[in-house]
């Protein structure tokens, strides 16, 4: 019955304060007075030697322990299982009063086994360890773990320590990402055990909790798998055995007195019949005294029955209280009487006014006649009265202030009455309490348990819905403007301060149910009059133009999303599918037939789709990162997973999700994403996505304009990572930017017949394996160098200059080709991905600031394969290319035309990585090869080869080129021949106005676009001494060319002059010509040699192709710097031996940076920076960088140490992180190279 629940709840405003005050008073006292305990641990056997099982009951009188801790008297029951006895007791040895002891009884089935007395001494168990520390090693995550430690010795184990917690653990624990648990040593411990849980609640019982055991004071948790263990409930490190605490032996066998031995008031011998001990009439005389043992814990008198195995029935305890294990019966009571203590404490009854009617199943108070005599319930005046009634009538209603119990399956309703549904079987449709509490305590089923205006509780059985405080309204006629089931009135404030004003507040619903709703509505709209602020989640079916897919019916996720899209207004809206979590299936094309723009939000789910996703124009598909996955089941073979072509869609956005082609389990497929497939499509975008495991392309663009592929990561792509391929030359304006592309088979980015695109800031890393192999037909066997471990079907392989395709990778040392390579032994090979970027018949594209490495072909190729098609006016600039098998950049034409392209400012580092496998002509940095290649400009590029034996033969190769190509101002370091293979065939110099350069090409004989009126050519006679008295002055309106000995190009609008032999300090220099072999300028004693170009730069060139440019001081023969005809520069005397040859050291000033919590390292100031950390760096930047620039940061701890560094956001660190040495005054060094967008770490050194 729940008859007292309402009373208790009505007092709930009074109890907390009282409880709190009492608790505060008692808790400190109890904690301060907690006595130590000693663990008694032993094994108990039966007489036949088997292990005993049963119950041990320990009783004791109140005492004060030897260390003055008060202990109340009491009883403790301990289970005895398979002989194992373990219990912790307060030591009573030496306690007060003297002789204090524990009385111990052992029970088995059938009765008392034996009993004894314990005197428990003190013990010295080792203490549990303190709370451990937890450190995350490796990549931090977001998983929470709690760790607890116990200490062990030869005797046993302590209780658990307090918990140590980490909230940033990696989800998967392994040898790279793990938690390190440490704790302080415990005196006397020989070992430790570490336990782990996912919640703050301490573990108990037996389960998978144990991380491991160790003798050290730390342990690494490197596995998600836990060992099974039993959590200690006692400290068993210093236990006492039974022989150490037992002070009395088991009692002697019971002696039964014969009836003849008892008579009258005394025990006599051999009575003739059963004797009765009677009390004499005199007051105060005790006819028979039964005296207890000296042990205070013993019972004075125990009464057993006469069964073969007597059982204890009744007894008097030492305080004189009578106790019994049998139900008492009273012959003087009437059936139905309700006994109560009457006058003088006598047991009494009053059946007239207090009676239980067992026939009518009712309890009655008051006369059983008159009002209420024949009704089930009675009216009571006043308040606070409680009546309990058993209801057997269907749909029965009770009166005010009652508690109603019903054990039937009938519907029943209680007004102002606590309701208890108690049926043990069957189903009740409704049990409703109005303005009171409702409980279900039976094992049966209730479809609806409702407490309207009260508290609802389910203790047992099955309940469909349990509603507490449920209200409802009804209109059955008339006209009603507003019907509100619940109204929270307006709060009022006339003074004071108010922080939070809340009309209706729902507390946390954190019951860990399958669905935990704070507020859940049925059909009907939800309207908010102000902003909606949701700290965690707001789940509904419909909010304005937002639909929540998980609230719609459907056989799978696709059907639910389709229903949500259908329910949107015609103007579109948002479909929030983040409530669909975990593994989901999609068998419905949910965009089919709709033209609505839909923003589809995906959560942490994997959508296995058997249909293509075909978003409508203006739609967006947005995930939460790699945890939002769109994939296809095995053998589905979708042509595309995401497809914008079918609906001719434009302005589609795909963002922040993983598209997984499951390629190893498919036999076909064109691409993961067909981003733009219709001529009318425009402005589709895919951003910040992961595209993986494609049988075909990653992203395919076959039509349309203005698409964007930005910030994505491509991995394991079976053809081109990004393919832009048109059937006719088209102005497309696509942007391919800031992508990370790796492990592809075809091109990184391929462009065909697509014009005016921008390919910028991408990191493209293919696969390059090289070495030597043996071939036998289509079989290839590895011999030396790199094996075939990272190759796969579709990769190209160059064997002894010829191209083949891999059909099958059999093992790391064996592959099969699609065509025979004949029989060859120990021949060179290079295999892997094709070009990083390939432009075929593409025009006006910009390829800039990309980082390219590890390709089995060239880095960037401008190509025209078809007659009548042109690769025209493309700009390739500022790219960084390394470790490609062939050339860094190639301009080639099969039958088409490659013309008017510019290759400017690129850096090529250690290209030609597999020269023996490639054709002999592919041994240069940049190559133009085709008679159809015309008017291409190769300028200001840098080619570096710092391998021990350089493999790059030339900076630029002009092989079989057409007219008008030029290679100028390119820089080489370590290249075998630093010049150009093949002469420039330009009719005029291609050095533009405003450039400063040095030129030794024979083709440098004219000017660019000169006109007869604006540009003039001056020829000066050769001379061995300055020309005395010669002066030339003219008004130069345009570009002037001087030919003879030495000459310069002026590009100016003012009026400079060339003057001879002017004297006086600060005058303009003398200008002289010397001999037919060398030309020079020489300053006079009065001034410096000055070359003036007011609006441009001077270009100085040796006239002869076999000569260089010399710089001297003092006299023309005192050479201090010279530039050779091959473009090599030496600072010092003598000819240059390498691309840059310096007598003495090369120094770049180290820039000292004053400490700041947000430092900016200015890359324009130098190449090395040093900063001493006097506090933590919370953010940092590197400003004014140049593409290809290398800098070194030297960061040192101050005298305090342990300072931390937050690296620049565009610094890509090896392994993803770099933690500084914390030791005082120690330094760490980091070197990085800039690719135009990001800095990439190339080396580091720690603890310097």
**Residue 470: half-sphere exposure toward Cβ, Cα within 13 Å:** 16
Of 178-182, 617-621, 1035-1039, minimum mean pLDDT range: 1035-1039
- Residue given tokens 């240059």 in the structure block: 1136
pLDDT confidence of residue 422: 85
Model confidence pLDDT, tens digit, residues 887-924 = 999 988 888 899 999 999 999 999 988 888 887 778 88
Alpha-carbon Rg for the chain, nearest whole angstrom, is 48
Specify the higher pLDDT residue, 1112 or 248: 1112
Model confidence pLDDT, tens digit, residues 117-164 = 899 999 989 999 999 999 999 988 889 999 999 999 999 999 999 999
> Is the pLDDT at 1087 greater than 70, yes or no?
no
Model confidence pLDDT, tens digit, residues 1159-1213 = 999 998 889 999 999 999 999 999 999 998 899 999 999 999 999 999 999 999 9
Residue 581: C-alpha distances to residues 584, 590, 608, 627, 1227 (Å): 7, 18, 12, 10, 47
Of 381-390, 815-824, 1198-1207, minimum mean pLDDT range: 381-390
Two tokens at 254? 């019971």
Q: What is the mean pLDDT of residues 714-738?
A: 92
Residue 967: C-alpha distances to residues 416, 502, 798, 894, 920 (Å): 99, 76, 29, 22, 21
Tell me the fold of 749-767+833-986: Pectate Lyase C-like (2.160.20)
Report which listed range, 175-184, 271-280, 526-535, is most confident.
175-184
Give the CA angle between residues 890, 891, 897 to the nearest 5°: 160
Two tokens at 585? 């299936």
> Is the pLDDT at 563 greater than 90, yes or no?
yes
Q: Tell me the average pLDDT of the chain.
A: 77
| Percent of residues, the chain, with pLDDT higher than 70 | 72
**Local confidence band at 389 (pLDDT 50, 70, 90 cut-offs):** very low
Q: Which residues contact 225 (CB under 8 A, 6 or more apart)?
A: none
Neighbours of 172 (CB within 10 A): 12
> Is the pLDDT at 520 greater than 70, yes or no?
yes
Specify the higher pLDDT residue, 298 or 496: 496
Say if residues 188 and 126 touch (Cβ distance below 8 Å): yes
- Size of the chain in residues: 1248
Residue 376: C-alpha distances to residues 2, 388, 898 (Å): 19, 11, 106
Q: Which residues contact 498 (CB under 8 A, 6 or more apart)?
A: none
> Is the pLDDT at 1052 greater than 60, yes or no?
no
Domain limits, the chain: 39-118, 133-236, 351-468, 581-719, 749-767+833-986, 772-828, 1150-1245
Paired residues of 1231 in beta bridges: 1192, 1243
Strands 837-840, 870-872: parallel, antiparallel or unpaired by DSSP?
Answer: unpaired
pLDDT confidence of residue 969: 83
**Local confidence band at 307 (pLDDT 50, 70, 90 cut-offs):** low
**Local confidence band at 511 (pLDDT 50, 70, 90 cut-offs):** low
**Local confidence band at 933 (pLDDT 50, 70, 90 cut-offs):** confident
Task: Give which of 1069, 1074, 1073, 1075 is closest to 1056, Cα–Cα.
Answer: 1069
1187 DSSP 8-state letter: T
Say if residues 769 and 830 touch (Cβ distance below 8 Å): yes
Neighbours of 918 (CB within 10 A): 25
Neighbours of 624 (CB within 10 A): 14
**Local confidence band at 974 (pLDDT 50, 70, 90 cut-offs):** confident
Q: Is the pTM of this model over 0.85?
A: no
Of 935-939, 1115-1119, 1191-1195, minimum mean pLDDT range: 1115-1119
pLDDT confidence of residue 375: 40
pLDDT confidence of residue 304: 60
> Is the pLDDT at 310 greater than 70, yes or no?
no
Specify the higher pLDDT residue, 203 or 1076: 203
Model confidence pLDDT, tens digit, residues 10-42 = 333 333 333 323 333 333 333 445 788 999 999
Task: Give which of 438, 432, 529 is closest to 488, Cα–Cα.
Answer: 529
| Rounded-to-integer distance, Cα 266 and Cα 273, Å | 14
**Local confidence band at 758 (pLDDT 50, 70, 90 cut-offs):** very high
pLDDT confidence of residue 953: 83
- Report domain 39-118's class: mainly beta
Model confidence pLDDT, tens digit, residues 1134-1149 = 788 887 888 877 777 8
């Amino acid at each position: 019955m729940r008859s007292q629940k309402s009373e208790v709840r009505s007092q709930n405003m009074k109890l907390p304060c009282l409880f709190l005050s009492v608790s505060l008073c008692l808790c400190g006292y109890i904690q301060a007075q907690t006595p130590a305990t000693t663990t008694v641990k032993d094994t108990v056997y039966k007489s036949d030697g088997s292990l005993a099982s049963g119950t041990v009951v320990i009783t004791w009188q109140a005492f004060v322990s030897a260390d003055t801790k008060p202990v109340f008297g009491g009883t403790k029951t301990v289970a005895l299982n398979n002989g194992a006895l373990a219990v912790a007791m307060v030591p009573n040895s030496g306690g007060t009063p003297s002789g204090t002891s524990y009385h111990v009884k052992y029970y088995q089935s059938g009765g008392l086994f034996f009993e004894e007395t314990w005197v428990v001494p003190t013990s010295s168990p080792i203490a549990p360890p303190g709370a451990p520390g937890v450190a995350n090693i490796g990549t931090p995550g977001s998983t929470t773990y709690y760790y607890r430690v116990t200490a062990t010795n030869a005797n046993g184990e302590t209780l658990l320590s307090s918990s140590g917690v980490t909230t940033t653990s990696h989800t998967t624990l392994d040898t790279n990402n793990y938690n390190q648990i440490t704790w302080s040593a415990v005196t006397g411990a020989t070992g430790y055990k570490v336990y782990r849980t996912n919640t703050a609640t301490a573990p108990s019982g037996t389960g998978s909790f144990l991380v491991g055991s160790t003798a050290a004071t730390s342990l690494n948790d490197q596995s998600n798998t836990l060992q099974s263990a039993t959590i200690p409930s006692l400290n068993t490190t210093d236990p006492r055995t039974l022989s150490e605490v037992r002070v009395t032996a088991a009692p002697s066998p019971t002696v039964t007195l014969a009836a003849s031995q008892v008579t009258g008031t005394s025990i006599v011998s051999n009575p003739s019949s059963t004797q009765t001990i009677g009390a004499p009439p005199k007051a105060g005389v005790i006819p028979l005294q039964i005296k207890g043992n000296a042990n205070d814990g013993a019972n004075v008198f125990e009464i057993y029955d006469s069964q073969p195995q007597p059982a204890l029935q009744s007894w008097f305890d030492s305080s004189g209280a009578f106790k019994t294990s049998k139900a008492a019966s009273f012959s003087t009571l009437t059936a139905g009487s309700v006994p109560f203590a009457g006058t003088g404490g006598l047991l009494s009854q009053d059946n007239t006014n207090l009676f239980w009617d067992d026939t009518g199943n009712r309890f009655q108070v008051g006369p059983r006649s008159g009002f209420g005599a024949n009704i089930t319930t009675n009216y009571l005046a006043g308040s606070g009265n409680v009546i309990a009634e058993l209801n057997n009538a269907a749909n029965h209603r009770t009166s005010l202030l009652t508690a109603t119990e019903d054990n039937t399956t009938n519907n029943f309703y209680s007004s102002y009455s606590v309701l208890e549904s108690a049926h043990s079987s069957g189903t009740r449709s409704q049990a409703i309490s109005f303005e009171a509490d409702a409980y279900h305590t039976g094992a049966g089923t209730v479809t609806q348990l409702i407490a309207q205006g009260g508290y609802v509780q389910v203790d047992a059985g099955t309940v469909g819905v349990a509603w507490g405080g449920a209200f409802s309204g009804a209109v059955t006629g008339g006209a009603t403007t507003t019907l509100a089931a619940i109204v929270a009135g307006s709060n009022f404030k006339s003074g004071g301060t108010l922080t939070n004003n809340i009309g209706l507040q729902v507390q946390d619903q954190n019951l860990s149910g399958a669905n935990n709703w704070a507020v859940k509505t049925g059909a009907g709209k939800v309207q908010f009059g102000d902003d909606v602020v949701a700290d965690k989640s707001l789940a509904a079916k419909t909010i304005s133009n937002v639909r929540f897919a998980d609230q719609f019916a459907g056989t799978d996720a696709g059907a639910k999303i389709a229903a949500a899209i259908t329910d949107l207004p015609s103007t579109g809206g948002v479909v929030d599918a983040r409530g669909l979590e975990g593994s989901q299936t999609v068998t419905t094309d949910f965009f089919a037939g709709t033209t609505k723009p839909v923003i589809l939000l995906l959560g942490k789910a994997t959508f296995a789709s058997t249909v293509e996703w075909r978003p409508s124009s203006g739609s967006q598909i947005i995930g939460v990162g790699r945890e939002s996955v769109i994939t296809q089941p095995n053998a589905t073979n979708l042509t595309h997973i995401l497809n914008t072509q079918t609906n001719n869609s434009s302005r589609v956005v795909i963002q922040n999700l993983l598209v997984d082609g499951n390629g190893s389990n498919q036999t076909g497929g064109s691409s993961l994403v067909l981003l733009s497939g219709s001529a009318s499509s425009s402005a589709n975008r895919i951003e910040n996505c992961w595209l993986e495991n494609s049988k075909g392309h990653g992203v395919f663009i076959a039509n349309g304009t203005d698409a964007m592929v930005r910030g994505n990561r491509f991995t394991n792509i079976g053809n081109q990572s990004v393919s832009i391929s048109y059937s006719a030359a088209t102005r497309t304006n696509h942007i391919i930017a800031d992508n990370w592309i790796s492990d592809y088979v075809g091109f990184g980015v391929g462009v065909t017949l697509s014009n005016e695109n921008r390919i910028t800031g991408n990191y493209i890393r293919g696969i390059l394996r090289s070495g030597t192999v043996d071939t036998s037909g289509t079989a290839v066997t590895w011999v030396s160098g790199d094996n075939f471990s990272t190759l796969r079907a579709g990769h190209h392989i160059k064997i002894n200059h010829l191209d083949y395709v891999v059909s099958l990778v059999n093992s790391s040392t064996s592959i099969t080709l699609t065509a025979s390579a004949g029989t060859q032994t120990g021949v060179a090979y290079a295999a892997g991905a094709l070009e990083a970027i390939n432009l075929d018949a593409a025009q006006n594209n910009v390829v800039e600031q990309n980082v390219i490495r590890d390709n089995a072909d060239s880095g960037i190729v401008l190509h025209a394969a078809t007659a009548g098609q042109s690769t025209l006016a493309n700009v390739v600039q500022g790219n960084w290319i390394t470790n490609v098998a062939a050339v860094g950049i190639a301009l080639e034409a099969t039958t088409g035309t490659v013309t008017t392209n510019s290759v400017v400012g690129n850096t090529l580092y250690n290209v030609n990585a597999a020269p023996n496998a490639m054709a002999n002509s592919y041994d240069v940095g940049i190559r133009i090869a085709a008679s159809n290649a015309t008017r291409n400009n190769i300028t200001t590029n840098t080619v570096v080869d710092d391998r021990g034996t350089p493999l790059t033969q030339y900076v630029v190769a002009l092989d079989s080129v057409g007219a008008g190509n030029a290679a100028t101002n390119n820089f080489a370091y370590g290249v075998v021949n630093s010049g150009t293979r093949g002469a420039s065939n330009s009719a005029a110099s291609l050095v533009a106005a405003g450039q400063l350069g040095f030129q030794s090409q024979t083709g440098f004989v004219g000017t660019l676009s000169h006109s007869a009126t604006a540009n003039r050519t001056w020829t000066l006679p050769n001379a061995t001494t300055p020309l005395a008295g010669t002066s030339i002055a003219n008004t130069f309106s345009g570009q002037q060319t001087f030919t003879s000995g030495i000459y310069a190009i002026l590009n100016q609008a003012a009026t400079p002059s060339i003057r001879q032999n002017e004297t006086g300090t600060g005058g303009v220099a003398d200008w002289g010509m010397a001999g037919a072999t060398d030309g020079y300028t020489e300053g006079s004693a009065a001034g410096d040699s000055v070359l003036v170009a007011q609006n441009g730069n001077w270009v100085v060139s040796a006239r002869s192709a076999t000569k260089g440019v010399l710089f001297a001081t003092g006299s023309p023969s005192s050479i201090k710097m010279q530039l050779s005809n091959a473009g090599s520069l030496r600072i010092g005397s003598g000819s240059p031996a390498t691309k840059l040859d310096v007598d003495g050291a090369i120094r770049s000033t180290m820039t000292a940076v004053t400490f700041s919590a947000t430092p900016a390292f200015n890359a324009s100031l130098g190449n090395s920076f040093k900063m001493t950390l006097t506090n933590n760096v919370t953010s940092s930047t590197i400003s004014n960088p140049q593409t290809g620039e290398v800098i070194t940061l030297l960061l040192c701890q101050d005298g305090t140490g342990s300072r931390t560094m937050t690296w620049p956001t565009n610094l890509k660190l090896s392994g993803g992180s770099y933690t500084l040495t914390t030791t005082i005054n120690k330094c760490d060094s980091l070197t990085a190279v800039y690719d135009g967008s990001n800095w990439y770490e190339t080396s580091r050194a720690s603890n310097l």
